[in-house]
Amino acid sequence: MLLLVLAVAIALRVAFTVTYQYAFFFPDSRFYVDAAATGIPSQVRPHGYSFLIQPFVQKPYIWLAIAQHVIGVVLLVVGYAFAVRRGIKPWIAAVAFIPLAVDARQLTLEHYVLTETAYVALTAGGLFAIAWRDRLGWAAAALGGTLLGFAAVTRTTGLPIIALAGVYLLIRRVGITRLIAFCLPILAVLGSYLVWYEHSHGVYAFGQYSGRFLYARVAPIADCDRLELTTEERLLCMPEVPDNWDQRPDMYIWSNASPARKYYPDVEDDKILGGFANAVIKQQPGDYLLMVAEQTSWHFYPRPPIVGGAACLANWWIPPVAPGKADCEPRQYTPVTEPLLAPLPSDPGTIPGARQFHAYGEIVTTPGPLYLIGFLAAVFAAVWRPRRGSWRNAADALLFVGAGIGLMVLTVATSLFDHRYAIPAVLLIPLGLVLAISRINEVARTPRPAVSRVNEVAETPRPGVSRVNEVAETPRPALGRVNEVARTPRPEGEK
């Protein structure tokens, strides 16, 4: 089964590369390439991915796309090996990685000059390292911490995954030495990045757009008429908002019609934008939580209720018919004179196989209900008869499913709903699902000897109690003798 899944995965990636002979471009690609070319951390995006792609900057970006396709195949093999080591039957382990092998969004994003493939590899690698053995070694703990720390400076949404992994290690009681071995590389990676960023830009930060991103996230629900805002913050209110901005809040960042671009275009203004966002969240917590819950649930739909600009964005993550010809599909990353320039739109004409890949992409994507099933199975495996059988697979299931679902929630809470941000779940949640099923199956087959022993003990006569009853029913001879002596007449002359 593994060989079959692996053959399909490789064949799809080879055919994809032959069909699309340029890597794909997205506006975010410019920041990563520019930072890689200059060696200066971007103020918009973290530098981790830029560091990784430095060897590819002076070459055609198709080589970077090919490298990312290879990473996708390697992840499949390593994930399979991990699952088998955790006791999953080999054919089930192979089935768990079918989504990673065939998902059209996964294929498309591997072809982009974007962080997704590297981030998934770093995150999954870190989680595999700390969960690989029953007894965690200090070297594996250090490797896991290093990979997760680097994932966090590749995409800052990786920071909460570090906390999740730390809780997992505490539950497993790995010991203080292993915890230190896990934490030290994380502190080294994050601390070094902050110092380097301060040396480049004068502030300790992972970037200077976090307030701007959060402003865009909450702007659609901001009720400025009842909000207490400073004079500077009130300029960020936008009474008349285009209809499609509700599902595309990133327009508040990039559109020239946004008050953020009009009044506060510089990175130094990030604190004002962050202040507005914090005011909205504090004064409208119910509206904010409802929005996050609603849009997170879209990831579990067979087809999420997205329209307009959000539907256009979703089309960027499936194979195009003619890359670069239409607005709502990937563009080819043709050569540019400067890294921050976008490649010119092009009409590549008819590409053999592209129409078939596009049709494939509209059908073969990981269904949202599978994510929901994985979440429910992991929770059930953890709470159902927790004292029976091994608990490791339940803990591992919660780790991988929690990472996948957590990234969905976090990206919706801080940015927007986008299929691109759910791509780590294509690997993490199916793996967590089979671990949960393994735990449930093990518990169902394990007898309950402890309960039988209790019943046996309860039905066994208690000799101590029987002896007490026997003694209670036995005449007391000493007292009878006293009465007998008391009733005997004393002879004459006896004193």
**Cα 450 to the center of its chain, rounded Å:** 38
Q: For 224-247, give the DSSP string.
A: GGG----HHHHTT--SS--GGGSS
> What pLDDT, on the 0 to 100 scale, is given for residue 491?
52
How far the first Cα of the chain sits from its last, in Å, is: 109
Burial 343-382 (b: 16+ CB within 10 A, else e): beeeebeebeebeebbebbeebbbebebbbbbbebbbebb
pLDDT per residue as tens digits for the range 148-195: 999 999 999 999 999 999 999 999 999 999 999 999 999 999 999 999
- The whole-angstrom separation of Cα 427 and Cα 102 is 11
Q: Where do the domains of the chain lie?
A: 1-114+319-362, 210-283
pTM more than 0.85: yes
* Closest listed residue to residue 22, CA positions, set 73, 70, 72, 65: 65
pLDDT per residue as tens digits for the range 299-357: 999 999 999 999 999 999 999 999 988 788 899 999 898 889 989 887 777 899 999 99
pLDDT per residue as tens digits for the range 372-426: 999 999 999 999 887 777 788 999 999 999 999 999 999 999 999 999 999 999 9
Averaged pLDDT of the chain:
90
> What pLDDT, on the 0 to 100 scale, is given for residue 347?
77
Tell me the residue type at 249: P
Q: Which pLDDT band holds residue 494 (cuts at 50, 70, 90)?
A: very low
For residue 337, count CB atoms less than 10 angstroms from its CB and return exposed for 0-12, middle for 13-18, buried for 19 or more.
Answer: exposed
Q: For 158-223, give the DSSP string.
A: GHHHHHHHHHHHHHHT--HHHHHHHHHHHHHHHHHHHHHHHHHHSS-SS-S-HHHHHHHHHGGG--
pLDDT per residue as tens digits for the range 255-267: 999 999 999 999 9
> What pLDDT, on the 0 to 100 scale, is given for residue 387?
76
Is 97 within 8 Å of 79 (Cβ atoms)?
Answer: yes
> What pLDDT, on the 0 to 100 scale, is given for residue 471?
44
pLDDT higher than 60, residue 457: no
pLDDT per residue as tens digits for the range 25-79: 999 999 999 999 999 999 999 999 999 999 999 899 999 999 999 999 999 999 9
* Closest listed residue to residue 162, CA positions, set 141, 193, 132: 141
